């Protein structure tokens, strides 16, 4: 592997080995997409001022493990920032100084080096705007969501990706028991097979969201998550001697074709082409193996063949409604579903557990599906029924377009 030379001399001090083993903090994977909009100057000023105030006050079949030395090839460092980012002195915020203290005390980072690093970070207002929840009142619409992903351009790109990486997909299916169409569906939904992996410096977006997350009901937990991922990024960069600002990703800090957060690269990233590196941006093999590894580690059952979800009819007496409140897990026996008036075409294997899934269609009738463990494994990638079903249907469409 060609050595990567730090862009800034101070970072060589900050990221020198501390002489102790480093453990990555564990956080759930958050699905993200590349930012495509810029916030107005007015909203940027307001959001930045709000973030500064809050941060300063401190509110702020076989399970096969294919691992390597876990080296992520860094994306080329940009000579100039080509996105809407504003230089801001993060060191003015008490929460940032506390974070530097923690990284210095707990992980042995050089304080002056970290201060230099955060002195170069950019405030990304578009990230703040994009993580805000959608305005209330708009009904969920599965068909509208589906149409964004099951469409000709993405299907054609999926066929090319599958044809070009058929060997790696077959190896992943053999090693992990995750079908090729599911892996293809996830990478297609996430980034259109690497077309939209994001051009933000991960350190900029994570610093922004860790210390200036917008006011939402879950603000504290989200700030804690992004702060943990910021720490994971610094630990990862030091461990593998990477220039931290060379890591590029989405507006929320996710990296590569499968959009893994830094912590998940450490936990689930796979060197699937055997070159001694984990490169989720440039290596389809590594992206394929890493997606399969993530799913198998989150409950994918290779013994369950066939589609993870089956269409269902529900009785008008609505005795099945309480079954919708079971969370993102398969907990129901087939006889429980039948007793509540849920009927599928054909028999469900008696030894499996299932969940009842509702896909709302706005003013149109809701679709109901019975889903097994593998459907809910996909929801661990993104906690959404719509997401999991779009992955399944995109993969199925790509497989059909290839001729099976």
Instruction: Specify the pLDDT at position 134.
Output: 79
Given pLDDT bands bounded at 50, 70 and 90, which one contains residue 46?
very low
pLDDT digits (tens, 9 = 90+) for 16-29: 433 332 233 333 33
Q: Is the pLDDT confidence value at 73 over 80? A: no
pLDDT at 19: 33
If you average pLDDT over residues 344-355, what whole number do you get?
Answer: 93
Average pLDDT rounded to a whole number, residues 376-389: 97
Q: What pLDDT band is residue 256 in, cutting at 50, 70 and 90?
A: very high
The strand pairing partners of 371, in sequence order, are 309, 355
pLDDT of residue 86: 77
Q: Are 370 and 342 in contact (CB under 8 A)?
A: yes
Task: Identify the band that residue 278 occupies on the pLDDT scale cut at 50, 70 and 90.
Answer: confident
According to DSSP H, which parts of 298-372 are helical? 334-339
Asked whether 176 and 228 are in contact (CB, 8 A), the reply is no
- Do the beta carbons of residue 126 and residue 253 sit within 8 Å? no
Please say if the pLDDT value at position 324 is more than 90. Answer: yes
Residue 144, helix vs strand vs coil: helix
Q: Give the pLDDT score at 236.
A: 83
> Is residue 241 predicted with pLDDT exceeding 90?
no
In which element (H, E) is residue 170 found? helix 166-176
Q: What percent of the chain has pLDDT over 90?
A: 70
**CA gap 273, 278 in Å, rounded:** 9
**Active site includes 215?**
no
Instruction: Quote the pLDDT of residue 81.
Output: 55
**DSSP three-state, residue 301:** coil
- Is the pLDDT reported for residue 57 higher than 80? no
Cα gap 272→276, rounded to integer Å: 9
Q: With a cut of 80, say whether residue 109 has pLDDT above it.
A: yes
Q: What's the token pair of residue 271?
A: 């060197």
Distance CA 206, CA 338 (A): 47
Q: Which two tokens stand for residue 403?
A: 């001729």
Expressed in angstroms, the distance from the first to the final Cα of the chain is: 38
- Of 59-68, 136-145, 178-187, 353-362, the range with the lowest mean pLDDT is 59-68
| Per-residue pLDDT band at 79 (split at 50, 70, 90) | very low
pLDDT for 83 equals: 62
- CA distance to 81, 140, 141, 143, per residue, from 361 (Å): 41, 6, 4, 6
Q: Give percent of the chain above pLDDT 70.
A: 79
- Confidence at residue 67, expressed as pLDDT on a 0 to 100 scale: 43
**Which of 115, 164, 190, 393 is flagged as catalytic?**
190
Mean pLDDT, the chain, rounded, equals: 84
């Amino acid at each position: 592997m060609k050595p990567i030379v730090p862009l800034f001399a101070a970072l060589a001090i900050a990221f020198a080995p501390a002489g102790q083993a480093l453990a990555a903090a564990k956080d759930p994977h958050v699905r993200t997409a590349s930012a495509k909009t810029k916030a107005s100057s007015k909203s940027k000023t307001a959001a930045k001022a709000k973030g500064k105030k809050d941060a300063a006050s401190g509110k702020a079949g076989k399970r096969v493990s294919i691992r390597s030395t876990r080296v992520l090839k860094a994306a080329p460092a940009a000579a100039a920032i080509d996105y809407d980012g504003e230089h801001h002195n993060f060191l003015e915020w008490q929460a940032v100084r506390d974070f530097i203290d923690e990284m210095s005390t707990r992980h042995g980072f050089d304080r002056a080096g970290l201060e230099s690093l955060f002195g170069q970070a950019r405030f990304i207002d578009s990230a703040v705007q994009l993580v805000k929840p959608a305005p209330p009142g708009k009904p969920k619409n599965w068909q509208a969501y589906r149409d964004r992903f099951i469409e000709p351009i993405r299907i054609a790109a999926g066929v090319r990706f599958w044809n070009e990486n058929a060997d790696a997909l077959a190896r992943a299916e053999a090693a992990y028991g995750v079908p090729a169409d599911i892996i293809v569906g996830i990478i297609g939904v996430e980034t259109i097979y690497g077309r939209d992996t994001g051009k933000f410096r991960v350190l900029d977006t994570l610093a922004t969201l860790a210390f200036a997350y917008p006011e939402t009901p879950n603000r504290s937990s989200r700030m804690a998550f992004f702060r943990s991922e910021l720490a994971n990024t610094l630990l990862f960069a030091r461990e593998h001697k990477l220039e931290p600002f060379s890591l590029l990703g989405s507006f929320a800090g996710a990296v590569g074709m499968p959009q893994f957060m830094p912590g998940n690269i450490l936990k689930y990233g796979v060197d699937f082409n055997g070159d001694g590196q984990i490169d989720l941006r440039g290596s389809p093999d590594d992206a394929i193996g890493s997606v399969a590894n993530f799913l198998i580690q989150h409950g994918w059952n290779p013994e369950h063949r066939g589609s993870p979800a089956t269409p269902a009819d529900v009785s008008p007496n609505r005795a099945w409604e309480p079954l919708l409140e079971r969370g993102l897990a398969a907990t129901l026996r087939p006889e429980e579903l039948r007793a509540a008036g849920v009927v599928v075409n054909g028999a469900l294997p008696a030894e499996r557990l299932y969940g009842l899934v509702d896909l709302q269609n706005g003013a149109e009738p809701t679709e109901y599906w019975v889903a097994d463990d593998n459907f809910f494994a996909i929801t661990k990638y993104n906690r959404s029924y719509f997401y999991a079903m779009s992955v399944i249907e995109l993969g199925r469409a790509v497989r059909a377009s290839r001729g099976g």
